[in-house]
Structures are given as C-alpha cells and as structure tokens.
Amino acid sequence: MNNTLLFSCCCMTAMAFAGCKNAGTEQQSELIRYNQIGYYPSQEKVIVVEGASPDDEYTITDIQTKEEIWRGKASRTATSPWSGKERAVVDFTSVSKPGKYTISSPSGKVEIEIKDNALKQLADASAKAYYYQRTGVAIEEQYAGVWHRPAGHPDTKVYIHESAASKSRPAGTEISSPYGWYDAGDYNKYIVNSAYSVSMMLQVYAQCPEYFAKQNLNIPESKNATPDLIDELYFNLKWMMTMQDPEDGGVYHKLTTPNFEAFIMPSECKQKRYVVAKSVTATLDFAALMAQVARNSDIWEKDYKGFAEQARKAAEKAYKWALANQSQTYRQDELNKKFKPEVNTGTYGDEHIDDERFWAATEMFLLTCKDEYKKDMIKFAPKQFTLPTWGNVASLGVYELLTHTPSEGCKDEVQLFENQKAQFIKYLDSQLEKVPTSCFNTSFGNSDKDFFWGCLSEGFANEGIAMMFGYKCTGDAKYSTNAVRNADYIFGINPLSYCYVTGFGTKSPMHPHMRLSAADGIDDPIPGFLVGGPNAGKNDKEYVKYTTDIADECYQDVEGSYAQNEIAINWNSTLVALTSWIDATFGKEK
C-alpha cells in the first residue's frame, strides 16, 4: 500500500537494470572494489583495492563539475590469511555531498554514487521479488513487466501422501492448499523455510513500520489500506494456514512433487503434488510464526479482518500437537523406505528441536503471558547467541526479547532477558574485534569457514541484521556502521567484485539457479534476488566444476550450481530486512 503515485512496471524494470548502474561509460577497474549500489552521505565510505601499494594516492572527482574534491592514501592494508592476497582499504568518509564521483588510482578508475536513499531501490526490488515467486496465480504484465507468466500450480487439488495419512485424511485424500511462494529455485513449498522467512521480515517491519507504510511495490494489492510488504506476507501466510491438519493441529512438513521439476515454466509442470508427513519442527515453527502474527494484530485488521484471531487459535493448536509429538522429526530417507511415492525434494531436516521450542514458547508467551509458555521459554533458552537460520531459529526468539520490556517484579523473566541481551552483545563485540584486520572491512568473512552454502544471507546479511538490533538496543553507532559494512560486501566490496543481487550493480549474477528465470526465455534474470554466494564446501561439485580452492572466491555464475548460485525465500528475507532497515535508518524521507 502506498498513497503516493504508483510506479509503472516498466519503471520498476528500468530501476532494476539501469537505476543502479554507474552513469559513465568508462571501463570500471575490477581491482577496485566498491559498493555498486551507492553510499549514504552520513555513513562510512570505503573502497578496497587489490594489490595496491600503501603509498598509492587516490583522488575523487565530481563527475558533474570535474572538480577534484578529495585526495588521500589508504588508511590501512590487509592480507588474506588463506589466499595471501594483499589489499588496501581506502576510507573517504569525509566526502558526504550527494552526487556521482570518479575515484582514480594507479589501479584504475571507478564511478561511485553518494545518495540520500542509497539502498531504497534495491530494498524495494528485494521485497517485490516475492511477487514473482507467487504460486497459483498469473503474474501479470502490469506488475511484472517482461517477467509476466501464466498461472501454475493452483494447488487446489493436492494429495495426502502415505506418510501424512490419518483416520480423517487417508492417503490419496484430495485437499486444497493454494497460494504461497515457490521456495527457491524449485517449485515446492516448505513450512520450515516459510516460517523463518516471514518471521524475519515481520520482525524488521515492526522496527520501522512507517517506512513500509510508504513503500510501493506495484503489486495487485498496492491500492488497499495495508502496507505492501504485509500484503505479500499474507499471500504466503494464507497458504501456510492450509497446511495445518484441522483435526489435530499438526502441520505437514511440505507441499511437494515427488521429484524436482525440470527447468520448465510452472504452467508446463505435470507431476502430482502432495503434502507429506507432519513434523514437530514444521509445527513449532508454524506455532511461533502464527503467534507472532496474532501479537501484531493491528496490521491485519484493515484488509484481513479476523486473521489475527485465526492465527492465535492455529498457534495454540499447533503448540499442543508439538508437545505431544516431540520425536516426530522429518526423516525423508526413512519415510521413503515405508511410503510411496518416494519423495526426493528438499528435506529441511532437523533433529534438534530445542531452538524451535524456545522460539515457539517465546512467541506464545509474548502473546498470552501464560506461565506454561514462560516455563518452556526459560527451559530452552540458548546458552549463547548464534545467527539465526532456518535450522537454528532460537535467535528469532532472542530478537523478540531484545525489543520487549519484561514484566516488573518477575525476576525469572527479567533475568532471562538480561542474560540473552548480554550474550547477544558479547557476540557482536567479539565480531567487531575482527574488523581492524579484515581485508574487506567487515565483521563477517574473516575465516575461510565463513564461506559456506548460503553465506551471503546466513552470514553477511544476518550478521548485519544482528548489528542493527545491537544499534536498536544500545544506540551505539559502532553496530549500525558494521551493518552497513556487511551490506557493502554483498554489493561489491568483495574479492570477485560482484554485486550478488540479480539486476543490480555493474557486475551481478546473470544465470541464477532458478527455474523461473532459466525457462522464461528472457536474457536478464528476474531482479531483486540474492544468490547463495561463495561456498568453500563445494556441495554440488559432482555437477559443477569449481575453478579455485580459495574460500571467498568459490563462486561461479552458472545456472547449474545450486550450492553457489541458487536463490531462496529465506535468503531474500534477510536482504529485505537488512536493506530496508538500513534505508529506514539512514535514508532521507522523500
């Protein structure tokens, strides 16, 4: 929803593919790594130069006036502990006037931009990306431009898999489970990942609701009274509601085909689709999210009246089922030995449920204030802070506590909150200690172990979000500064000079592992998606030939690589959260 003028879809397309390109035609030097999206006037500004001498001199020239406005040398140098490559970090934070500039050095030139709302277009595009992932509806040209497509996977006739059979719903029973988002580069829908993704965005929405209230994503719901991001979340939430068994409250782990579809468009897919076994992890994640939805009841009432109460009831029922079925984790290999057809799609398997128990109990307690949930919240509270992922969701509960005031006089509650905050700040400060020797001026990415499957989201972006929560809790700008630094890495200040978001920057992924983009016959990928990024684990090396063993350079822009170049709703949720929160904090309202 936005009361301002609606952008046309052609304008949105132009924003994605032209708005963030540098204005000049001069060849950009890949030896100079810079934020290809733009720098905020009030925030730190650096470039990193490969193989530069500490004595090299740099100049910055205003492109419009041709005036030299800055001259200086690198503030420090750093050497990669695993590749041995030497880099120079050049700090030009004192340049704060919005405009377009050329940075010149012995290594070459680049053009950069300083602007008031540096990340706004990318933040909008990362949220708009979910519209393209919608299932069961036509993606219309007026909203999607060249990426419009006919509807696929209506999911109004989905079958109960043998693994999910019950007395009230025997195997083969037809149910309706429409809407929701395609999970990643494939065409299936998974509760665990959906819960994580929606929660991440809903948490950041709560930090800056005014920002999202003015956002216009040009989606079918843009003219209603609800913020566009909330409309998009609702599109997935109404599917998630259909995944709860109305009889007992358990939640089916996923809605899937037996095997991944080929790289074809959704309307061409022919496989039957099933809901498979209920799992305790999916059910607890569902309970946590629905409690979060219910607690934020006001945001649904204008256009989705009654949804918050529906979510409350669903959460309570799910939590009850989970307590009675704590050993029912999702074990696909074991299920395939017992039930047909075999299912060979993404597992989202997880044998450890303490983190789900904590998150769900926290959300239920904050919703109801009941002692039964408080006891579980305290019992399963994490002993140290870790960045949240779909497989370790405890910190989603921690974030809720960080922004909640405990009840006066409740010593156990106050103690829990204080402990979690102390652990959280301890983690952040330990990460900040790594920046002075970092090759790319970041708190993450300073060990070869930091480059794993999905590291751009689960590492860099997630730590940026944690830093923003640190800033929220303390008011100390050292945390927000490091959130911006991690964003800088994703958008170009990295060893390969990539802006890792499709459609943005001077060098970005063109061949993501994504069926929608691979099969649509359009050269340019759908914009606004964050890819997985460098992966030293090389999880798909049997299918993809890796060309290096250098951890932070184990990335290739190839369609066949799901372990480097796939997109996913959980990864994009962190992109939405980080860029939106940064822009809401440091951008100027227009």
Render pLDDT for 506-537 as a digit per residue (tens, 0 to 9): 999 999 999 999 999 999 999 999 999 999 99
| Enzyme catalytic residues | 186, 513, 557, 566
DSSP symbols for 534-557: --TT-TTTTTS------GGG----
Per-residue pLDDT for 13 more than 50?
no
Three-class DSSP category at 111: strand
At the topology level, CATH places domain 27-114 in: Immunoglobulin-like (2.60.40)
Per-residue pLDDT for 25 more than 60?
no
The amino acid sitting at 364 is: M
Write the pLDDT tens digit of every residue in 424-450: 999 999 999 999 999 999 999 999 999
What is the pLDDT averaged over residues 378-390? Answer: 98
Per-residue pLDDT for 357 more than 70?
yes
Q: CA dihedral in degrees (449, 453, 459, 460; nearest 10)?
A: 110
> Quick check: 101 and 63 in contact, CB under 8 A?
yes
Model pLDDT, residue 20: 44
Nearest alpha carbon to residue 549 among 445, 407, 433, 451: 451
pLDDT band at 408 (very low <50, low <70, confident <90, very high): confident
User: Under the phi-then-psi rule, with left for phi > 0, alpha for psi from -120 to 50, and beta for the rest, what region is 267?
Assistant: alpha
What is the pLDDT averaged over residues 584-590? Answer: 85
Give the span between the Cα atoms of 137 and 134, in whole angstroms. 7
Three-class DSSP category at 274: strand
Per-residue pLDDT for 384 more than 70?
yes
What contacts 57, CB < 8 A, 6 or more positions away? Answer: 71, 72, 73, 105, 106
